[in-house]
Chains A and B, each alone.
Chain A
Amino acid sequence: MLELKKVNYAVVDEKTKQEKVVLKDITLAFPENKLTVITGQNGSGKSTLIKLIMGVISPTSGKIFYNGKDITKLRLDERANLGFTIAFQQPVRFKGLTVKNLLDVASEKSNKLSDACEYLSKVGLCAKNYINRELDSTLSGGELKRIELAISLAKGGNLYLFDEPEAGIDLWSFENLVDLFKGLKGKTVIIVSHQEKILEKADYLLLIENDNYKLGTKKEILPLLKIEPKCKKLGGQNE
């Protein structure tokens, strides 16, 4: 089980030199082997939370536990080897590295076309058209996003973090994408999303808003999302 205890994250604004709190005092436990969807307005700190869990960044204070073990100080690669798998909101481009190179690193083997097909077809791409493509600026945004997902599937793991996986993916293949997440049953899956269709598939929802947050079952949280104005779903004091 993944737990956060009194996690804070603040950054210092380079221009104003003022401290800006991004996430404040978060204590929660993500339900084991369930699909939890994190939602909230742009800039509310969803990606930040995902990166804290993965170890891309470290909390200013507070602790993170996995299966009862304090992992706050574990590096990104150490968490990856523990079974944490992330697909970033903004996939990275590489000059000179191919889709195959990354699939190979992720799966720790040399993938043949048929292996690559297994991962790429799940995200709606035809392996033979992509396996030798460079991950450079010649790939479209949607292609890159799908490849990012395929790489995370190739890596595998016990805890998946998907940051807006549906962004830029055309509607036609949307259903398949949703099936993909449902197919990770038995794993802890955390998805950041704004998409109603994905929210509907969730077991649990985590709503982040201003300095506040609420984790609950889909039944508990979905009604809150309908409340206007958009920034006061949790009845916060901030204007």
Chain B
Amino acid sequence: MNNIDKELLKSVADLHFTPLGSFNIRKNGESVGRNSTKEIEIITKKDKSGIDIIVKPGVKNKSVHIPVIITVGDLTDIVYNDFYIGEGADVIIVAGCGIHNPTLDDSRHDGIHAFYLEKNSKVKYIEKHLGTGKGGKILNPITKIFMKNGSEFEMETLQIGGVTYSKRDTQAVLEDNTKLLIKEKILTTEDQEAITSFDVQLKGKNSHVQVVSRSVAKENSKQSFYSNISGEAECFGHVECDGILLDKAQIISVPKVDAKCPEASLVHEAAIGKIAGEQLLKLMSLGLSHEEAENLIIKGYLS
């Protein structure tokens, strides 16, 4: 593993060394390191590219790292990862993709992830995306989450720069007494474009979803945020889309809430605009220049 590999792994998966527990590291379309354990099994798919990750029932306080790195140009890497989370299990899953593309051709990674959560299981899922190097870096993650009674899923996605184009698609189906929390942070600059869409079906009684999206669009970049929350039972849905716009950037937020049951409580909030003038003034009154103040506000906002 060279320094670029290490740097990418550190950024997308907080990996400074070989992780403890189960892991699978994928580089340029191939698995380059794996540890499958008794508690969390990792099995290569037979019919297509990808792996099955099987978390046995009742497994607690364990983690799985499945980072992907790409360090070449002109590559399209499509991978299907399926996660089976056993009853009562409680695990942390760290995914993420780092692309360093030194060429002028596009590199692309489409991670198609499906999570099957059995009863009362709990998952914290962290996904970071990063791009470096001259060439195009394209990421199209698809995440599907199926939640059985009493399960909880917390998802944190972070795309903090360098990704030329991304189309993120997240779908979830929630049964009774479930909780889904999605926190998303996206920064785009230059001519980048990021599209993100959420489709959540609250099918079960007492199912909850909260989506918190914070985005910063700079220069000529463009971001689109689509959400579609449907409530079919007594359920709670809250979507919060906050955006800071700078330069000539654009942010579009398209909410859809679809209540099919009078007991469904669904809310969408969107606040998009430039950095509040008084925030800049406050920081400048502490001695920061305009630019330093702007950077600090953005850093805090995306932290």
Contact = CB atoms under 8 A, between A and B. Distances in A.
Interface stretch (B28-36, B50-58, B154-162, B275-283): B275-283
Given A97-B296, A97-B297, A92 B279 contact: yes
A148 to B, nearest CB: 9
B262 interface: no
A-B pairs with lowest CB-CB distance, top 7: A96-B300, A97-B300, A80-B287, A77-B284, A96-B301, A92-B282, A76-B284
B181 to A, nearest CB: 17
A54 B300 contact: no
A86 interface: yes
B302 interface: yes
Given A77-B289, A77-B290, A94 B284 contact: no
Given A77-B289, A155-B287, A88 B282 contact: yes
Contact of B302 (A76, A77, A86, A96): A96
Contacts of B289: 77
A85 B284 CA distance: 11
A81 interface: yes
B63 to A, nearest CB: 25
Interface string B265-303: 000000000001011011111111110000011011111
A156 to B, nearest CB: 11
Interface in A69-91: 75-77, 80-81, 85-86, 88, 90-91
B300 A81 contact: no
B286 A105 contact: yes
A125 interface: no
B242 interface: yes
A57 to B, nearest CB: 10
25 contacts: A75-B284, A77-B287, A80-B284, A80-B285, A80-B286, A81-B287, A85-B285, A88-B285, A90-B278, A91-B282, A92-B276, A94-B300, A95-B214, A95-B242, A96-B299, A96-B302, A97-B300, A101-B296, A102-B286, A105-B283, A105-B286, A105-B287, A105-B296, A106-B286, A108-B287
Contacts of B283: 105
Contacts of A105: 283, 286-288, 296
B219 to A, nearest CB: 21
Nearest to A103: B286
B286 A96 contact: no
